[in-house]
Amino acid sequence: MNTQDTRRPAGKKLSLKEKYAQMTRGLGWDTSYEPMDQVFDQLGLEGIKIHDWDKWEDPFRLTMDAYWKYQAEKERKLYAVLDAFQQNNGHLNISDARYVNTLKLFFTGITPAEYNAHRLFAMLGRQFPGPGAAIACQMQAVDELRHVQTQIHSISQYNKYFNGLHDHTVMNDRLWYLSVPKSFFEDAISSGPFEQIIAISFALEYLLTNLVFMPFMSGAAYNGDMATVTFGFSSQSDEARHMTLGLECIKFVLEQDPGNAAIIQRYLDKWFWRGYKVLGLVSMMLDYMLPKKVMSWKEAWDIYFVQNGGSLFNDLSRYGLSMPKYWEQSVAEAEHLSHQTWNAFYNFSGAAAFHVWLPSDEDMAWLAEKYPNTFDQHYRPRIEHYRKLQAEGKRYYNPSLPMLCQTCQTPLIFTEMDDPTRTSHRQLEHDGDTYHFCSDGCRDIFAEQPDKYVSAWLPAHQILQGNCVEPGTEAAGDPGADALRYFHVVAGQDNLDYEGSPDEANWRRWKGLDKTTPAAAA
Amino acid sequence: MNTIQSTVFMALQTNDDTRPIIEALQRDNPDAVVHRLPAMVKIDAPGRLVLRRSTVEEILGTDWDLQSINLNLISLSGNVDESEDEMILHWNR
């Protein structure tokens, strides 16, 4: 039997470029039973013109065989660490049980978003006729599913010992603050294929995911969380490839037709602002929720958006693209974002699936050092006021339901960037109704596609309309209590302050911090 | 536009696999700045950063497959140009 490959000289291996060409371009074909434009029927809808799909370049030149090889190796490394983490009670080695609240937010907010990203890329791969693009999307769809699975697996160890991690899928569908990341992905997945890839691969992954995965995962390591840093960096090693896909995609589209630039700029403006609004949650994770802090939100924004995004847009200016609209505002707001976001959760912690707390004196000294222009002036006095009320037994809870932004679904908790005493609130009339927004950016996005955003499922509205009652149960008549059951948040266990929570009591017992408890004495 | 001085970066996990990679990057890119953060090493360079397989192999004393960088790469910035022999990150302007 002759097993010699006759297409090339014996013994000579294909170069990386040749191999990539064979394994991608060589696998594509044009349909003959049905016309191509009907098979790929979404391509023409957005006005983007592509003349030659073969110009698509994947700079990593990763073929499927190499992909499986490296992904399998990543999994082996990850699961070795997870075994060690579980066998050695790794959850007891974190800096403080407060830290686990960042995982609750991550697991209910970001893990389901990874699943939505999986769905999005599986559909996108189907929409692109170029095999280079289709294969990159296919790999990413598999990556995103891997992220969901490894995150569920890693965090399952915490779910055995801490509250609030028991039902991330239902919470993502129903919990008010999780509608912010959820609506981001649903907005993307219901867009045209080019808008989807610009939204996720470029605006989210290239511009913004570094803000989640780099300082936060480094923070997980610093706080002793071996499981999270390992799945985080395992996910992020795929992310480096996704980001490169995002940049290649935008260059490819811009080089295909001069008319594409205006459409791409509109997508960039929109998705930068949508992504930035989701990151408010990350800002408070860095500044308020990590017991041992790595870097401030403002420092992270300066490095990963101003410096890194600035370099990127210098490069893209040759295609006529400019920095996304309102980017200056995001820089000005970096001095305020985390303080205002954490304050909102302190106000509404009765309806959250994680715990809150007031910063310690040491935390406040760190915040004052990192935010010399704003913290002592605006935010320390408010925290000291809350402290005083708590000491008097009058812990402040906001009894109302907040007004939500029609576009990003964030409550109207932010101030004007040049006046931290005035709430930022914008309005627009559409078809005889008044709609409310948190910012000029969100109002502009609505104005472009009002019919899309008027149908938004806004949690505060739904609660008031009586639509947030657990299916199969009777409404108790107390909308707050009904909503908590609907969210699958266990009142008195998952919500409210860390101090006094079952999580705190367990932690003190496990760590022997309470000399009076029998467990510590035993 | 903006007045940002363009930088590229590569961020790697802190582990034994990446020590020779970081050393090679420092050797081949004298302007590179190495930041050591918890669990992560971030290497910044003005405009261009090159990773050469031959330099990593010289440090390791054995063969090294450049694509295996995928196992330990956390993030990067810049246009990527990769072959069997080197991986270049660069901005065009």
Subunit contact A318:B74, Cβ cutoff 8 A: no
What is the C-alpha separation between A419 and A415, in angstroms, rounded? 7
> Measured between CB atoms, which of A77, A221, A239 is closest to B75?
A239
Kindly report, residue by residue over A124-159, the tens digit of the pLDDT. 999 998 888 888 899 999 999 999 999 999 999 999
Instruction: Report yes or no: B32 and B52 within 8 Å, Cβ to Cβ.
Output: no
| Three-state secondary structure of A241-282 | HHHHHHHHHHHHHHHHCCCHHHHHHHHHHHHHHHHHHHCHHH
CA A47 to chain centre: 29
Q: What is the pLDDT of residue A4?
A: 47
Contacts of B4 in chain A (CB under 8 A): 306-307, 310-311, 314
Subunit contact A218:B39, Cβ cutoff 8 A: yes
A454: pLDDT strictly greater than 60: yes
Instruction: Report yes or no: A228 and B25 within 8 Å, Cβ to Cβ.
Output: no
Work out the average pLDDT over A245-263. 92
Give domain status of residue A51, yes or no: no
pLDDT bucket at A378, cuts 50 / 70 / 90 = very high
Among left, alpha and beta (phi > 0; psi -120 to 50; other), residue A444 is alpha
Subunit contact A237:B74, Cβ cutoff 8 A: yes
**In whole angstroms, how far apart are CA A305 and each of A88, A212, A312, A521, B10?**
38, 12, 10, 51, 15
Which amino acid is it at A391? Answer: A
pLDDT bucket at A517, cuts 50 / 70 / 90 = low
- State how far residue B26 is from chain A, nearest Cα, in angstroms: 20
Work out the average pLDDT over A405-429. 95
Q: What is the pLDDT of residue A187?
A: 97
Note down the domain range covering A206.
61-343
- Strands B33-37 and B48-52 turn out to be unpaired
Beta bridge partners of B9: B44, B77
Give domain status of residue A385, yes or no: no
Q: Residue A209: name the closest of A236, A177, A229, A237 by CA.
A: A236
Give domain status of residue A474, yes or no: no
What's the total number of domains in chain B? Answer: 1
The domain that holds A288 is classified in CATH as: 1.10.620.20
Instruction: Report yes or no: B1 and A317 within 8 Å, Cβ to Cβ.
Output: yes
Subunit contact A314:B76, Cβ cutoff 8 A: no
Residues 41-80 of B with CB under 8 A from A: 42, 67-68, 70-80
**In whole angstroms, how far apart are CA A476 and each of A24, A174, A254, A399?**
59, 18, 56, 18
> Measured between CB atoms, which of A62, A236, A313 is closest to B75?
A236
Give domain status of residue A456, yes or no: no
Q: What is the pLDDT of residue A299?
A: 96
Q: For tokens 């709430």, what's the residue? A: A423
Q: Residue A190: name the closest of A129, A291, A274 by CA.
A: A274
What's the total number of domains in chain A? Answer: 1
> Measured between CB atoms, which of A70, A229, A251 is closest to B70?
A70
Give domain status of residue A165, yes or no: yes
- Mean confidence (pLDDT) of chain A: 92
What is the C-alpha separation between A381 and A225, in angstroms, rounded? 33
Of the ranges A10-14, A59-63, A189-193, which one carries the lowest mean pLDDT score? A10-14
Q: Is A423 helix (H, G, I), strand (E, B) or coil?
A: strand
The domain that holds B29 is classified in CATH as: 3.90.56.10
Q: What is the pLDDT of residue A212?
A: 83
- State how far residue B20 is from chain A, nearest Cα, in angstroms: 18
Q: What is the DSSP letter of A513?
A: -
Angle between helices A179-189 and A260-278 in degrees, nearest 10: 160
Subunit contact A16:B84, Cβ cutoff 8 A: yes
Give domain status of residue A483, yes or no: no
Mutate to test the interface with B, among A247, A315, A317 (most CBs of B within 10 A): A315
Q: What is the pLDDT of residue A520?
A: 44
Subunit contact B4:A236, Cβ cutoff 8 A: no
Subunit contact B40:A315, Cβ cutoff 8 A: no
Radius of gyration of chain B (CA): 13
Angle of CA points A86, A92, A96, to nearest 5°: 135
Work out the average pLDDT over A277-297. 95
Q: Residue A207: name the closest of A275, A157, A158, A139 by CA.
A: A275
Mutate to test the interface with B, among A237, A245, A293, A325 (most CBs of B within 10 A): A237
| Count of positions (residues) in chain B | 93
CA dihedral A334, A339, A344, A350 (to 10 degrees): 130
Of the ranges A67-71, A238-242, B54-58, which one carries the lowest mean pLDDT score? A238-242
Give domain status of residue A500, yes or no: no
Kindly report, residue by residue over B10-60, the tens digit of the pLDDT. 999 999 999 999 999 999 999 999 999 988 999 999 999 999 999 999 999
Q: What are phi and psi of B90, to 5 degrees?
A: -155, 155
Give domain status of residue A354, yes or no: no
> Measured between CB atoms, which of B38, B68, B93 is closest to A218?
B38
What is the C-alpha separation between A231 and A179, in angstroms, rounded? 24
Q: What is the pTM of this model?
A: 0.92
pLDDT bucket at A2, cuts 50 / 70 / 90 = very low
Note down the domain range covering B30.
7-90
Work out the average pLDDT over A6-32. 75
| Other CB atoms within 10 A of residue A395 CB | 16
pLDDT bucket at A49, cuts 50 / 70 / 90 = very high
Closest chain B residue to A73, measured at CA? B71
Of the ranges A20-29, A176-185, A205-214, A387-396, which one carries the lowest mean pLDDT score? A20-29
Give domain status of residue B2, yes or no: no
Subunit contact A210:B75, Cβ cutoff 8 A: yes
A184: pLDDT strictly greater than 60: yes
CA dihedral B24, B29, B30, B32 (to 10 degrees): -100
Contacts of A17 in chain B (CB under 8 A): 83
Contacts of A218 in chain B (CB under 8 A): 37-40
Q: What is the pLDDT of residue B63?
A: 96
pLDDT bucket at A492, cuts 50 / 70 / 90 = very high
Give domain status of residue B1, yes or no: no
